[in-house]
Amino acid sequence: MDDAQAVGRLVRRCKAGDAAAWEQIVQQYHRRIYNICFRFARSADDAQDLTQEVFIKVYRTLSSYDVERGAFMTWVTTITRNLLVDHFRKSKQDRVTDSLDASPSENEDAMPLGQQIQDKTTPADMRSQSREAGEFVHRALQKLSPELREAVILRDLQDMDYREIATVLKVPEGTVKSRINRGRAELARLLQRTYRQVM
């Protein structure tokens, strides 16, 4: 509750034209927003551009934020999610539901994801295996549909509760839970073919 009040005061100062308050908001939330954008985007450059767009939109619409109606983080995450959805609609990258056996996009190699993972992983290099695991999970995450991907990202990577996620996604809490479970299971199926021993 103290955090919410502190953020509320910060937002009010920012609305009054306090540039230092805005800088503090950017410092406080840029890491979180960047991580959400990075998990949706395919590259760090895209994530950086998207993060800047998010903060530009937050800056322009800050006067419309009502402290009494919800947490600032939820409001910012909603803006982020809407902008990401718009971005991927424009770039025609939505509805990517390729499985491990499906043919990858034209920007990638000609092999399916499962073969790519197998080819890049050698049994002798166990230490690099754990380091590369994050990259493989990230790539598998890109294969999920946007609805499942955003649900699992907000829950398992951003640690948001179900009610906040339901607010951001504008769907009932039960739908959020269902999407999270399906997203987790789909991700596991994508990765289990090559990483059964790790699990």
Partner 1 sequence: MPVEGRNNMQCAEFDALLSDALDGLLTGDKSESFQAHARVCTVCGPLYSEADAGRRWLKSLGEIEPPANLVHNILVATGGRDTARAKSGQQVSWAAAVRGWMRPVFSPVFAVARQPRFAMSFGMAFFSLSVTLSLAGVKLTDLRHLDLRPAAIKRTYYETSGRVVKYYENIRLVYEIESRVREFKRATTPAEPASQPQNKEHKNNTSGQPEQRQERNYSQGPDQPVLAGLPNDPPVVMLTIYRRIA
Label residues 19-47 b or e (16+ Cβ within 10 Å = b): eebbeebeeebeebbbebbbbbbbeeeeb
Query: Where do we find the tokens 């190699």?
Result: 109
Q: Which residues inside 11-30 make contact with partner 1, applying CB under 8 A?
A: 18-20, 22-23, 26-27, 30
Q: Does 75 bind partner 1 (CB under 8 A)?
A: no
Binding mask 152-171 for partner 1 (x = CB under 8 A): x---xx----x---------
From the CB of 116, what's the least distance to partner 1, in Å? 17
Cα-Cα-Cα-Cα dihedral sign, residues 125, 127, 130, 133: negative
* Residue 134 CB partners (closer than 8 Å, separation 6+): none
Q: Which of residues 85, 96, 133, 171 is near partner 1 by CB under 8 A?
A: 133
* Cβ pair 114, 100 in contact under 8 A: yes
From the CB of 106, what's the least distance to partner 1, in Å? 26
Query: Where do we find the tokens 């950086």?
Result: 48
**Which range in 2-10, 86-94, 117-125, 183-191 contacts partner 1 by CB under 8 A?**
183-191
Q: Residue 117 burial by CB count (10 A; 0-12/13-18/19+): exposed, middle or buried? A: buried
Q: Does 95 bind partner 1 (CB under 8 A)?
A: no
What residue ranges bind partner 1 (CB under 8 A)? 18-20, 22-23, 26-27, 30-31, 34-35, 38, 44, 47-48, 51-52, 55-56, 59, 133-134, 137-138, 140-141, 152, 156-157, 162, 174, 177-178, 180-181, 183-189, 191-192, 199
